[in-house]
Copies of this chain bind each other. A is one copy, B any other.
Amino acid sequence: MELFLVPPTSCPDSTLPQPSDPPRSPWWTLCHLSHHGDQPKSPLPRSWPGQVSRFCQEMTKGKNYALPNASWGPDMLSLYHEFLEKTKTSGWVRVPSFRSNRDHIQGFKLPLDLSANSDKSDWRLFTRCIEREGQGYEYVIFFQPSEKKSICLFQPGPYLEGVPGFVHGGSLAALIDETFSKTAYLSGEGLLTVNFNIRFKNLIPLGSLAVLNVNVEKIEDQKMYLSCVTQSRDQQTVYAKASGTFLQMHLEKDSSRQ
């Protein structure tokens, strides 16, 4: 399977490497590809239904980690079913979650620099790195296409510990980044994190339920700006506030496979 990431027009962020930087930079290579015009371009964004349905298609093989398992507590389960109802009535979409991003975006091409190390099979999306149910990340993302927002239900297991008994700040940051990433891609092909900021307000007890509320704030100059408020289910405790910027790119179909 190959993937292809290409920015739509240019790479204007001054924080990104410029041509004087070392030429082995994948970022620089990505930007340079579009400047050279040696890869096909297409206008953004694509239509919602196609993009969302393509990404969110259920695979017949491979485990979908976004489905309930025996480790999910009553809070997680009841809110899950509440949002599942909204997929039937309010346009929400349950985002499937596979072992690797390779499973989500099959049949697309990746530049040479991004094809490195793709000869092995046991790769895992970081937030699905702990296989045993209930020990690590238990989460499911619901996406609302018309409002460009997501909800992520997160039940942290005991392998995500920082301060004894509580979630490691880094594990929350990683899940917010992952939820940003999926939301940015589904909302307008935002694909790679440019920057990420998080302010911690309260510690999350391991085993409890935290709810991530993600919004696309704006899309400008091929960049997407997202925000996230993480709080308890009853919204009485704010755990963290975060923001992130993603670079818009899109995946080109691998014509050699058609």
Which of chain A's residues 160-213 have a Cβ closer than 8 Å to chain B? 160-171, 173-178, 181, 191-203, 205-207
The answer on a CB contact under 8 Å between B170 and A192 is no
Interface residue A5 (Cβ < 8 Å from any Cβ of B): yes
The answer on a CB contact under 8 Å between B26 and A101 is no
The answer on a CB contact under 8 Å between A114 and B159 is no
Name the one of B135, B181, B198 contacting A162, with C-beta atoms under 8 angstroms. B181
Interface residue A117 (Cβ < 8 Å from any Cβ of B): yes
Name the one of B170, B192, B194 contacting A178, with C-beta atoms under 8 angstroms. B170
Stretch of A14-22, A83-91, A143-151 at the chain-chain interface: A14-22
The SS class assigned to the A binding surface is mixed
Q: Which residues of B contact A101 (CB under 8 A)?
A: 161-164
A interface size (C-beta, 8 A): 70
The answer on a CB contact under 8 Å between B202 and A194 is no
Q: Which residues of B contact A32 (CB under 8 A)?
A: none
Name the one of B126, B164, B191 contacting A100, with C-beta atoms under 8 angstroms. B164
Interface residue A69 (Cβ < 8 Å from any Cβ of B): no
Q: Which residues of B contact A25 (CB under 8 A)?
A: 201-202, 237
The answer on a CB contact under 8 Å between A206 and B123 is yes
Q: Which 9 A-B pairs have the closest CB atoms?
A: A170-B174, A126-B168, A170-B177, A129-B159, A195-B199, A117-B165, A169-B193, A126-B171, A124-B159
10 contacts between A and B (CB under 8 A): A16-B201, A25-B202, A26-B203, A116-B165, A117-B205, A123-B161, A126-B160, A127-B170, A163-B191, A195-B199
